[in-house]
């Protein structure tokens, strides 16, 4: 994951090299965290020599909803934003896994922390990105000493940049103590999510994840996992999870655009079950991996191939 100055991004209504996409230091979004963002992936499949965007319409819909919560007026429609992601892929002629960062931000040079009467703009850049977490092994996690911000502090349903100070505090605390990732509790003390991923637990064959009211982001991977599990005939519950249920879970995993499906080996120094990836996690992870490159017959409509001419299938 690195800065590629020559890669083509979208900024102020134009496609241009990322190194030319600059903003004034007075920009409202920089001063107050008044930016809402998305994060989606394009998966490269060598067999069809194509890049597949994963649920781009759903990502742009969530971005628009985040903007609505923050009283922003998106300058582009959801479908135009999908077009920008497609165009960025084409202009960079990607033949690899890509991460796209679309965002709407308060671009006015304006002093007061408010939402109304401050202008908004939209931009998008992309990065070459394989795994964000090392998914070849289990995650070693700790419950964070930082609580998840809640709905009435900074809405977690919206991906507001300012809210990610909370994620950064938890992630750094976990990593600087030698772990891979943090697990947040919500303001009531129930399990919420990771610093940038949703969490799932398996108990007695049932797949369980915290409800959307537990200060979680309404993750698109979360929803995809729920849908895949139901297709597999599993029972899925969205219910509160207590901290110590994590310790005695049969299986635990994170999921998200960055994390994909990352199994959890340890929570608060307790090894989860036998310390190996569990069968349900493996099944869902394998199916998810097929789905993102358009090879899962039941979910083919989740992906959008970018290059028409490169598709041979
Ligand atoms: N929770 C948080 C706080 C996140 O930042 C993310 C990443 N967008 C997720 C969950 C996972 O959401 P998604 O599956 O839509 O990427």
- Where b means 16+ CB within 10 Å and e means fewer, 232-269 reads eebebeeebbeeeebbebbbbbbbbbbbbbbbbbbbee
CA of 258 to the centre of ligand 1 (A): 8
Q: What is the DSSP letter of 27?
A: B
Average pLDDT, integer, range 162-190: 98
Would the pLDDT of 82 be above 50?
yes
Answer yes or no: 295 catalytic: no
pLDDT in tens, 87-121: 999 999 999 999 999 999 999 999 999 999 999 99
Would the pLDDT of 126 be above 90?
yes
**What is d(CA 125, CA 10) in angstroms, rounded to the nearest whole number?**
6
**What is d(CA 194, CA 92) in angstroms, rounded to the nearest whole number?**
32
pTM, to two decimals: 0.96
pLDDT in tens, 28-75: 999 999 999 999 999 999 999 999 999 999 999 999 999 999 999 999
State what percent of residues in the chain have pLDDT above 90.
Answer: 95
CA of 40 to the centre of ligand 1 (A): 10
Average pLDDT, integer, range 147-155: 96
Which atom of ligand 1 is least distant from the CA of 193? 1
pLDDT in tens, 278-297: 999 999 999 999 999 999 99
Would the pLDDT of 312 be above 60?
no
CA of 257 to the centre of ligand 1 (A): 6
Contact 84, 124 (CB under 8 A): yes
The residue whose C-alpha atom lies closest to atom 10 belonging to ligand 1 is: 197
Which atom of ligand 1 is least distant from the CA of 159? 5
The residue whose C-alpha atom lies closest to atom 4 belonging to ligand 1 is: 196
Short-list 214, 170, 207, CA closest to 191: 214
How many residues would you count in the chain?
313
pLDDT in tens, 200-257: 999 999 999 999 999 999 999 999 999 999 999 999 999 999 999 999 999 999 999 9
- Find the catalytic residue in 16, 19, 106, 159: 159
pLDDT confidence tier of residue 143, bands split at 50, 70 and 90:
very high
Residue 135: predicted pLDDT: 74
Residue 133: predicted pLDDT: 72
pLDDT confidence tier of residue 173, bands split at 50, 70 and 90:
very high
pLDDT confidence tier of residue 310, bands split at 50, 70 and 90:
low
Would the pLDDT of 159 be above 80?
yes
pLDDT confidence tier of residue 130, bands split at 50, 70 and 90:
confident
Average pLDDT, integer, range 297-303: 97
**What is d(CA 214, CA 244) in angstroms, rounded to the nearest whole number?**
16
CA of 264 to the centre of ligand 1 (A): 17
Which atom of ligand 1 is least distant from the CA of 198? 10
Ligand 1, pocket residues at CB < 6 Å: 39, 167, 193, 196-198, 217, 219-222, 256-257
Tokens of 189: 């003390």
| Mean of the per-residue pLDDT values of the chain | 96
Residue 313: predicted pLDDT: 45
């Amino acid at each position: 994951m690195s800065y590629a100055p020559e890669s083509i991004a979208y900024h102020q209504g134009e496609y241009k090299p990322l190194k030319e996409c600059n903003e004034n230091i007075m920009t409202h979004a920089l001063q107050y965290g008044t930016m809402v963002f998305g994060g989606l992936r394009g998966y490269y499949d060598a067999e069809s020599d194509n890049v597949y965007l994963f649920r781009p319409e759903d990502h742009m819909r969530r971005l628009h909803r985040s903007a609505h919560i923050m009283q922003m007026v998106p300058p582009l429609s959801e479908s135009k934003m999908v077009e920008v992601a497609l165009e960025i892929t084409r202009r960079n002629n990607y033949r690899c896994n890509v991460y796209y960062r679309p965002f709407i931000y308060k671009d006015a040079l304006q002093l007061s922390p408010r939402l109304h009467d401050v202008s908004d703009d939209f931009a998008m850049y992309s990065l070459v990105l394989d795994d964000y977490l090392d998914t070849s092994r289990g995650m070693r996690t700790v419950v964070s000493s930082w609580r998840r911000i809640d709905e009435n502090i900074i809405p977690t349903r919206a991906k507001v940049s300012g809210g990610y100070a909370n994620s950064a505090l938890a992630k750094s605390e976990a990593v600087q103590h030698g772990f891979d990732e943090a697990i947040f509790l919500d303001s009531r003390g129930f399990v919420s999510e990771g610093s940038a991923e949703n969490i799932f637990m398996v108990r007695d064959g049932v797949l369980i994840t915290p409800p959307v009211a537990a200060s979680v982001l309404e993750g698109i991977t979360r929803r995809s996992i729920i849908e895949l599990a139901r297709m597999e005939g599993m029972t899925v519950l969205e219910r509160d999870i207590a901290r110590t249920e994590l310790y005695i879970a049969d299986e635990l995993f994170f999921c998200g655009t960055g994390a994909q499906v990352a199994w959890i080996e340890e929570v608060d120094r307790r090894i989860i079950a036998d310390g190996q990836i569990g069968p349900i996690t493996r099944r869902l992870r394998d199916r998810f991996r097929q789905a993102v490159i358009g090879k899962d017959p039941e979910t083919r409509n989740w992906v959008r191939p970018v290059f028409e001419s490169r598709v041979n299938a």
